[in-house]
Structure 1
Amino acid sequence: MVSFADFETDFVAFAVSAAIVAAYYGFLNIKARTNPTYTIHGVNALARSLWVEHIMRNASKDVMAVQTMRNFIMGSSLMASTAALLVVGTLTLSGQAENISQSWHALSFKGSVATELWIIKVMFLLLDFIVAFFAFAMSVRLANHVVFMVNVPEHDAHHTLSPRAVARRLHRAGNMFAIGMRAFFFAVPLVFWLFGPYFLLISSIGLVIALYHLDRSESDEALETVIRPAVPSQATPTDISMQAKYAK
């Protein structure tokens, strides 16, 4: 008979890992309130809104709109299929707890190797992949709705099909896709948890560090370095002021 004390190390490690991830997303939300384009997600949301307005105001862009939405739907469908396969693989893994639970903990310095704990870990991993599948499936559903809406000319559109309303629906589809990708990322620490609690902590810290570099959009200083043209050595003050103006 196992007790809670036997699982204490693993549960503490899971709680700390969840707190690290939650603190990271709290930090992102605070930064996004003052600067909506601080993260790449904010930049993507802005791009989607401008794209929808451009498409609905230019009837000649209908073919490009369909091709773009088709590519988006194909990507979401592929990820949903991948999540479904991972769900099946995780269910298969849950039936082998007695055979591999101890061998997978060979490198673990501390932590229980009880079959009950192994099942709990696999259930968390299964739940993560189910969330990913649902998010990608919802992304496909919402994008299929937008395919018809985005080709409606703005001047003929009902107020519920205005560019702003259509952009909100496309933004929801993009958010669901992002949630699915986050679920895939969070699966990495959960997989390492199968090997022991300390692997969970280390992988969670590594994931947050990686996401910190991936989530941020390019800074204004970096963009200026790329965009600003070289100033000729014999340039007049007027030329320099004009170059500085258009480099911003």
Structure 2
Amino acid sequence: MNRYEAILVGISIMVVCLYHLHLYIKVKRSPETTAVGMTNLMRQQWVETIMAERRDILAVQTLRNHVMASSLLASTAILIALGIVNTVLRPAGFQEISHALNIVGTRSETLWVAKLMLLAVDFFLGFFNFTLAIRYFNHAGFGLGLPDQHVGVASHEFVVEVVNHASLHYTIGMRCYYLAIPLGLWIFGPTWMLAGALILVPVLYRLDRTV
């Protein structure tokens, strides 16, 4: 990796990391101004309403939708990751195309393989988080279905924590998909990666804000 590519890659990583550090601080200090914080509060009220009013059908339908979405995204992530690994093993003409578009970056086969493996790891991480989301959503279904006399076993706070854990892993899984944009563009050169990062961050900022 030459110095020019290292600088552009470093800037891209710094932009994405600084944004998520900013988001983390905002969620902790002013959750009502972020989509993550607001949905956490809404899930808390939703769980309390479901358990108090015994709206079991609504709970089942909502959790089923989340499990189905997580299953689809987990399956897609693992298929993409395995496809990338297969590309590493059998590069064919894809390597030539990526090198042709790589204007200022290093055209090294070793670095090219490292880029693909990093992208594969990103999708494997997404798969892992979506499967954890499915696990927590299934656990939440049992807690939401308990009658009031079992409140000591699964209190409102415990069920809220389980649902929020599921949603956190779902969110991380989606972030892995988003992160795949600059990582995927890096295959074609560091300038493409920087452009992807600079476009991605404003889009995420718009999606993550409530005000």
TM tier relative to shorter chain: over 0.9
- Which of 194, 197, 206 is the matching residue for 1:201? 194
Q: 1:141 aligns with which of 116, 128, 135?
A: 135
CA distance in 2, matches of 1:131, 1:180: 7
Number of the residue aligned with 1:82? 76
2:207 to 202, 206, 214: 214
Number of aligned residue pairs: 211
Map 1:1-248; keep pairs closer than 5 Å.
6-59=1-54, 61-97=55-91, 99-153=93-147, 155-217=148-210, 219=211
Q: CA shift at 1:165, angstroms?
A: 0.8
Contact kept in structure 2, 1:48 and 1:171, CA below 8 Å: yes
Report if the CA contact (8 A) 1:97-1:118 is conserved. Answer: no
Partner SS state of residue 107, structure 2: coil
For the 8 Å contact 1:7–1:117, the answer to whether it is kept is no
Percent of pairs with identical residues: 35
| Pairwise CA distance, 1:39 | 1.1
* Matched AA of 2:198: I
Quote how far apart the aligned CAs of 1:72 are: 1.0
Give yes or no for contact 1:97–1:115 (8 Å, CA) kept in 2.
no
| Aligned-CA RMSD value | 1.5
Contiguous gaps of at least 5 residues in structure 1: 1-5, 220-248
Equivalent AA in structure 2 for residue 199 of structure 1: W
For 1:147 and 1:34, the matched residues in 2 are separated by 30
* TM-score relative to the length of structure 2: 0.94
Compare 110-119 and 173-182 and name the one that shifted more: 110-119
CA distance in 2, matches of 1:125, 1:32: 28
Q: 2:195 is aligned with what amino acid?
A: I
Letter of the 2:25 partner, please give it. Answer: I
**1: distance between equivalents of 2:107 and 2:96?**
6
| Contact kept? 1:91, 1:126, Cα under 8 Å | yes
Relative to the length of structure 1, the TM-score reads 0.81
